[in-house]
Structure 1
Amino acid sequence: MKFGKEFTSQMVPEWEEAYMNYNHLKTILKDILIFRRLQTSPPHQSPENGELLERHLLYRAFSGLTTNRFNSHNDRSIDDDQVILVSQIQHEEQPQESWNYETMFFRSSEEGAENEVMFFRKLDDEFNKAICFYKRQVDEVMMEAEELNKQMDALFALRVRISAPQFHSLSTQSNSGLSPFEEIRELEETPERDQTKMVSLEILNHVKINVTPESALSTLKTIFDATKSDLSFSKREVRTAQAKLKQAFVEFHRKLRLLKSYCFLNQLAFSKIMKKYDKVTSRNASKAYLEMVKSSYLSQPDEVIKLMERVESAFITHFANANRSQGMSNLRSIAKRDKHRVTFLVGCFFGCSIALVVAIVLTIHARDLLKSAGRDQYMNNIFPLYSLFAYIVLHMLMYAANIYFWKRFHVNYTFIFGFKPTTELGYKEILLLSFALLVLTLAAVLSNLEMEMDERTQSFTTLTELVPLGLVTVVLLVMVCPFNIMYRSSRFFLIVSLWRCVCASLYKVTFPDFFLGDQLTSQVQLLRTVEFYICYYGWGDFKKRSNTCNQSNIYELFYIFIAVVPYWFRFLQCMRQVFEQKDYGPGMNGLKYLSTIVAVVTRTIYVQRRGTTMRVIAASSSGVATIYNTYWDMVEDWGLLCKNSKNPWLRDKLILPNKSVYFVAMVMNVILRLAWMQTVLDFHEAPWLHRSTMIFVVASLEIFRRGLWNFFRMENEHLNNVGKFRAFKSVPLPFSYDDGYKEL
């Protein structure tokens, strides 16, 4: 792999703008190389040029067959022939630690030296950018280290207060002999005994527990309990504080490791680009420049390395029971590796699904089922039951495609979603689950058809009709299986996120919460199919394959209610964000979901009741909702349609190299959002397509639109993180100090 690609692949995605722009500098070197080739390579060899070349070769010394014959002579001539001079320049009103490095190029008077001057000017800009960013990051980690020190002091004091309450009135004191805390201190101190200080209980008079509502119950307690943040000196507080600080140490250590990697990668990039410059120009400028790089702050990560060692020592001592292997395993997560068996099973299940599809098509064609008397009965009762799994599989396939392209274009989706390291599912794992579910569904469809047509199974009609319900039961059991099989951590992550969506107003809204809420708004037909399952099997209609659901007012009422639920969840999430962030932006987003609720209700009532008046109301409300939603998709969620952008009608920063993809996506989003028109214009009554099929097609188009939306929504979120250099999870610390408190 070439260094440029390796350099890009090892970057922290959110810090990409802070790295040296290696590719741009390579472009300048290519211009220099082209100019030099034009100057030194004449179009034809004239006799005069040949004579000059021969004379030049006559007087040129033989270079030798070994590389060190004239090294000493060449080194002296190169040293005498200095190319550049690098120095620190202090601009007006600029502190000494912010001095910039500038390079003076001594060959600027030569013909065609403009590109070389430009090269060193850009090189200085990139170096100053990198070193300034590194300084800012180091200052931040030092401040974070001080805060973690104070947090650990409070945690130790809380431990002592609970373990030895009889000593709660004692304060910090210098004592060279034994003290009442000697036994506790033996457990808390680091190996450097002479550096251990007594635990200060005075700290507890100046700190409070930061209670962040993490459950519905804790949120309700927060609302009704005004003293929620006072220390109650309970063991539960110690466990909570210790868990939060453990996670804070893990994230802090990760930041230190990435800072160390940032130094190394940039140093290597400057070394590579200067050696390329020497090779292209036949000069020896790299030595002087790299000596400056070596002596700069960027090449002295000792401060970060020492801090990293102290963090590791403290983490192993206090959070890993002095077990170094366990502590380092928690701090340094192992990179996830692709498993060959996953790839094999994906191909296997995909092949099986193709074979089953062919078998179903041949069965339908051989028995002429499309023209049979029971066609409408099957489409009205059985087809919706199996369409439930089709919606799930299609959504999973779109999500797998999203993951593939997010990875390809270096979108850090794992950080944005907050997945645990090495437990997130890649696109291959998603494809494996999708095709496995597809195989089960197609096998159930084929077995259902065979059982119906076989005379020997006519007496088991009831059992035949229970096949879809059995498949649902299997999927649910796998989903909630408590054993560590079938990607348990990802299954539980999904279940927790679903629960947080259901209790939307009682939880702090995070990106996975509202992202999943948006996915549910595109699965309205799936939720209605779940309602049909309950009606079809709960009322016993499956025994005669004829449902009376549409004749029930309760069913029609819930048919409207269940379609509104996902949008209502998103509305509550938006309202929660308004109250927490004191920002009206989420409120405007909430109005979008309210308009969609009105459109969904009026469209459903029109389908159920008909009438010209209701048709006009449904069309009007749907039109307003479509315009509002389309605008929000493109401008707010995707960050596009910017007039003053350097990319007309797009945004300043784009991930995809082909800009036309964004315009195609915007047009497709508009077209797919107009799918609601089929319910208002009565397309579902088309004679060449069954009503159930039309409903399935429209629902599938909405899932496809959501998959398209997902990619650009995540891209915009990633770029916002990049713009703010947010590459780490913000871990809430357990303690807060009084404003006037000073560390003892």
Structure 2
Amino acid sequence: MKFGKEYVSQMIPEWQQAYMDYACLKTILREIQTSHERSERQDVVKHKLSGRRNFSGLTKRYSRTFSSRELENHDILVHETIGDDGFEKYETTILKVAEVGRESELVFFKTLDLEFDKVNRFYRSKVEELVKEAVVLNRQMDALIAFRIKLDQPSSSWSCSETVSVDINALDSKEQKGKTLAEEMGIKVEENVSNGGDSTKETVALSVLDRIRLNKNQENPLSTIRNVLKLSNKEDLKFTRENLKKIEERLKYVFIEFYRKLRHLKNYSFLNTLAISKIMKKYDKIASRNAAKLYMEMVDKSYLTSSDEINKLMLRVESIFVEHFASSNRSKGMNLLRPKVMKEKHRITFSSGFFVGCTVSLVIALGLFIHARNIMGAAGQKLYMETMFPLYSLFAFVVLHMIMYASNIYFWKRYRVNYPFIFEFKEGTELGYGHVLLLSFGLSTLALSAVLVNLDMEMDPSTNNYKTITELVPLFVVAVVIAISVCPFNIFYRSSRFFFLMVLFRCISAPFYKVNLADFFLADQLTSQVQALRSLEFYICYYGWGDFKQRQSTCKSSDVYSTFYFIVAVIPYWSRFLQCARRLIEEKDLSQGFNGLKYLLTIVAVCLRTAFSINRGNNWKLAAWVFSGLATFYGTYWDIVYDWGLLHRPSKSWLREKLLVPHKSVYYVAMVLNVVLRMAWLQTVLDFNISFLHRETMIALIAILEIIRRGIWNFFRLENEHLNNVGKFRAFKSVPLPFNYNEEEDRDI
């Protein structure tokens, strides 16, 4: 793989704009090369300059200065100045400017200096942020160790120096940012503390613990109510082993995330330095100059490569983490700190292909079975469509949605949308598109097998007496799927299953939980699965009321069923409305109010459409028409303009300024498809029927179109969210800390 592609693939997606623009510099070098080639063709007498060197600025450092005589052998001179903002700036002067490619070379170094200044400033700002964060972690460690001492169970001998902060002289000695809490309080801890001075340790512990409270990071409905009533959510310290275990788990996660930031910043420095080295080698080769050596010396002296804060912080974090969170087992500690990457396994690919083959074979077998037995022309076909078809269509909706999600993952990865960070998946546990395809086609194989078994037991003369058993087949499949979903054992991607169940519970419990992107994203998925939820309602009615024993459905004649037919369809939209209401109150974002209005309109439209499908009156039809049209127009506008961030006037093409997909036609096609598929749900109001299709089939087809629309929406919605994160350089999630310090007391000391 060429360096340019490798360089892009290793970038932190959210920081992409902060990296060296390697592609732009290569474009300028091509112009220089073209100028030289044109000159050589015009002047065949001119000799090519030799003496090109194979140099890498990352493998050798240069520290000596050059005399005026030595400068004669160099082609550039780099000046360092201090800008108005206090940051250093670098300007390169070409000492020997040739006529050939002169303007392009000046542009090259001007661009290179600007790019390097950008990288240097960004790196310094991020280092300063992490140094400040290290001080906060330092105070958290003081509190944790004091908590352990209070419990009389210190994990190791303690001294004030055993904190996250690095050598103060390396960071900023004049500001003394790395002081431990004990030092800030004026408590002098002698050597006998580290040697086991119990009384002194107890004094330090009490002094620290008097100034902290335990943060209640686990949000629940009770904490939400307390916030509404403006009651404090801070807990008094209770010195129990259970609390200590919770604190250690929280702080361990904080350290892992902090170490991940350090690794990313170190990689940022290395990649940019390597990019500069590579581009200067190319420049020397193309322009036949000797500039790389001098320029890389300047790079080596710059803050980007000369500062050592990150390395020291990494070493200190490793030391503290291994000692306090890994029982001094370095191998175990480093395994926790280092990122976990899920590797694609051949058995996943093989299993996915196997189940795809099984699904295709079963679909063909089902078609041949129906044709051979003439099931569509049988007397019981209508009854079968009203009873068994809604039971099995549930699996079709779920499988199709999973396939669409797998395709979303594939394209998110292809266009470098950082979906694990956006959804806040635990690192190393996110599912790839291969895993989702395996689950979806595995479920489709199970469901199609059940359909064939069901049809065979019904039509075969030797088994058609066992109607009760026949009817229980789909219920058995649903029970298996639910059992696997809630299975506590570490099988079938337990972490992903539990994450899904947790987010689902938060959606149902809205607005008692703070709304994250994963919460409203899943709630939006549920709004496209209304027909699947109604199929679940039919399961409860069909099997709960005993209709399966006679293969007849009395559900639609029941007032209770009809009432819940409304409620089930409204639940996803109501959940989204409550989420919007909470975000409106918390974030003071007026757009969330307009978004909530969209879901209120949809709720009214769904209820009127459902009422029309039951009562068939002209008044219901007119009302359903009006509100369905309003909801469709409003929803389409919101999808394209707000969720996708498209059709903005500042852009010449009415799209976003930044697009991940290189072909703009894809966005226009997606917008048209969104409008067309949004219109599909108006079919129930239009009452458009096809003679050779049963009504249940028509309803299923419309539900499938809505799932496809949602799958398209998913990609562009997350693309827009990713670009918003890129614009704000948000590459890490904020992790709540276990302790909260009394800041008023801090200021008094």
TM-score by structure 2 length? 0.89
Counterpart among 709, 712, 716 of residue 705 in structure 1: 709
Provide the C-alpha distance between the structure 2 equivalents of 1:391 and 1:164, rounded to a whole number of angstroms: 55
SS at match of 1:199: helix
Counterpart for residue 392 of structure 2: 386
SS at match of 2:79: strand
Deviations 1:127-184 (A, max 9, x none): 000000000000000100111111222223333344499xxxx997446475799376
CA positional deviation for 1:226:
3.1
Provide the C-alpha distance between the structure 2 equivalents of 1:248 and 1:180, rounded to a whole number of angstroms: 26
CA positional deviation for 1:241:
2.9
Structure 1 pair 405–78 and aligned structure 2 pair: CA distance change class (3 A): farther
Whether the 8 Å CA contact 1:206–1:738 is kept in 2: the answer is yes
Structure 1 pair 475–175 and aligned structure 2 pair: CA distance change class (3 A): closer
Whether the 8 Å CA contact 1:108–1:114 is kept in 2: the answer is no
CA positional deviation for 1:582:
2.8
Provide the C-alpha distance between the structure 2 equivalents of 1:320 and 1:172, rounded to a whole number of angstroms: 31
CA positional deviation for 1:587:
2.1
Structure 1 residue 151 and structure 2 residue 140: aligned?
Answer: yes
Counterpart for residue 416 of structure 2: 410
Counterpart for residue 651 of structure 1: 656
Structure 1 residue 695 and structure 2 residue 699: aligned?
Answer: yes
Counterpart for residue 682 of structure 1: 687
Structure 1 pair 420–175 and aligned structure 2 pair: CA distance change class (3 A): closer
Provide the C-alpha distance between the structure 1 equivalents of 2:14 and 2:148, rounded to a whole number of angstroms: 38
Whether the 8 Å CA contact 2:147–2:205 is kept in 1: the answer is no
Deviations 1:614-645 (A, max 9, x none): 11111111111111111111121111111012
Provide the C-alpha distance between the structure 2 equivalents of 1:134 and 1:180, rounded to a whole number of angstroms: 37
Provide the C-alpha distance between the structure 1 equivalents of 2:194 and 2:330, rounded to a whole number of angstroms: 30
Counterpart among 213, 217, 221 of residue 212 in structure 1: 217
Counterpart among 707, 713, 722 of residue 718 in structure 1: 722
For these two proteins, the number of residue pairs brought into alignment is: 702
Counterpart among 450, 460, 468 of residue 456 in structure 2: 450
Deviations 1:200-259 (A, max 9, x none): 422333333222352334444655693531423332443333322211111111001111
Structure 1 pair 185–644 and aligned structure 2 pair: CA distance change class (3 A): farther
Counterpart for residue 46 of structure 1: none
Whether the 8 Å CA contact 1:384–1:529 is kept in 2: the answer is yes
CA positional deviation for 1:732:
1.1
SS at match of 2:633: helix
Provide the C-alpha distance between the structure 1 equivalents of 2:381 and 2:198, rounded to a whole number of angstroms: 78
Counterpart for residue 73 of structure 1: none
Counterpart for residue 600 of structure 2: 594
Counterpart for residue 80 of structure 1: 72
1:153-552 matches, within 5 Å, as 153-163=142-152, 173-174=187-188, 176=190, 182=196, 199-220=204-225, 226-235=231-240, 236-552=242-558
Structure 1 pair 175–476 and aligned structure 2 pair: CA distance change class (3 A): closer
Q: What is the CA RMSD across the aligned residues, in angstroms? A: 2.6
CA positional deviation for 1:78:
9.4
Whether the 8 Å CA contact 2:406–2:437 is kept in 1: the answer is yes
Whether the 8 Å CA contact 1:32–1:116 is kept in 2: the answer is yes
Structure 1 pair 107–175 and aligned structure 2 pair: CA distance change class (3 A): closer
Deviates more, 1:267-276 or 1:576-585: 576-585
Residue identity matched to 1:686: I
SS at match of 1:505: coil
Counterpart for residue 193 of structure 1: none
Provide the C-alpha distance between the structure 2 equivalents of 1:174 and 1:213, rounded to a whole number of angstroms: 36
Provide the C-alpha distance between the structure 1 equivalents of 2:437 and 2:195, rounded to a whole number of angstroms: 58
Residue identity matched to 2:116: F
Residue identity matched to 2:437: L
CA positional deviation for 1:726:
1.0
Residue identity matched to 1:550: K
Please list every run of 5 or more consecutive structure 1 residues that lacks an aligned counterpart in the other structure. Answer: 43-48, 64-75, 189-196
Structure 1 pair 145–177 and aligned structure 2 pair: CA distance change class (3 A): closer
Counterpart for residue 678 of structure 2: 673
Residue identity matched to 1:38: R
CA positional deviation for 1:301:
4.1
CA positional deviation for 1:612:
1.5
Whether the 8 Å CA contact 1:172–1:201 is kept in 2: the answer is no
Provide the C-alpha distance between the structure 2 equivalents of 1:177 and 1:429, rounded to a whole number of angstroms: 56
Structure 1 pair 323–611 and aligned structure 2 pair: CA distance change class (3 A): same
Deviates more, 1:615-624 or 1:150-159: 150-159
Provide the C-alpha distance between the structure 1 equivalents of 2:270 and 2:377, rounded to a whole number of angstroms: 71
Provide the C-alpha distance between the structure 2 equivalents of 1:258 and 1:229, rounded to a whole number of angstroms: 33
Residue identity matched to 2:408: N
Structure 1 pair 2–147 and aligned structure 2 pair: CA distance change class (3 A): same
SS at match of 2:92: strand
SS at match of 2:740: strand
Counterpart for residue 20 of structure 2: 20
Whether the 8 Å CA contact 2:150–2:239 is kept in 1: the answer is no
Counterpart among 94, 113, 120 of residue 109 in structure 2: 120
CA positional deviation for 1:543:
2.2
1:57-96 matches, within 5 Å, as 80-91=72-83, 93-95=84-86
Provide the C-alpha distance between the structure 2 equivalents of 1:259 and 1:322, rounded to a whole number of angstroms: 26
Residue identity matched to 1:495: L
CA positional deviation for 1:562:
0.4
Whether the 8 Å CA contact 2:39–2:100 is kept in 1: the answer is no
CA positional deviation for 1:579:
2.4
Counterpart among 710, 729, 735 of residue 731 in structure 1: 735
Structure 1 pair 533–184 and aligned structure 2 pair: CA distance change class (3 A): farther
1:94-105 matches, within 5 Å, as 94-95=85-86, 98-105=87-94
Structure 1 pair 240–584 and aligned structure 2 pair: CA distance change class (3 A): farther
Structure 1 pair 281–562 and aligned structure 2 pair: CA distance change class (3 A): same
Provide the C-alpha distance between the structure 2 equivalents of 1:535 and 1:382, rounded to a whole number of angstroms: 13
Identity in percent: 53
Provide the C-alpha distance between the structure 1 equivalents of 2:292 and 2:198, rounded to a whole number of angstroms: 57
Provide the C-alpha distance between the structure 1 equivalents of 2:532 and 2:582, rounded to a whole number of angstroms: 27
Provide the C-alpha distance between the structure 1 equivalents of 2:618 and 2:460, rounded to a whole number of angstroms: 48
CA positional deviation for 1:699:
0.3
SS at match of 1:704: helix
CA positional deviation for 1:475:
0.8
Deviations 1:87-118 (A, max 9, x none): 11234x342xx021111123446143111111
Please list every run of 5 or more consecutive structure 2 residues that lacks an aligned counterpart in the other structure. Answer: 52-67, 155-181
TM-score by structure 1 length? 0.90
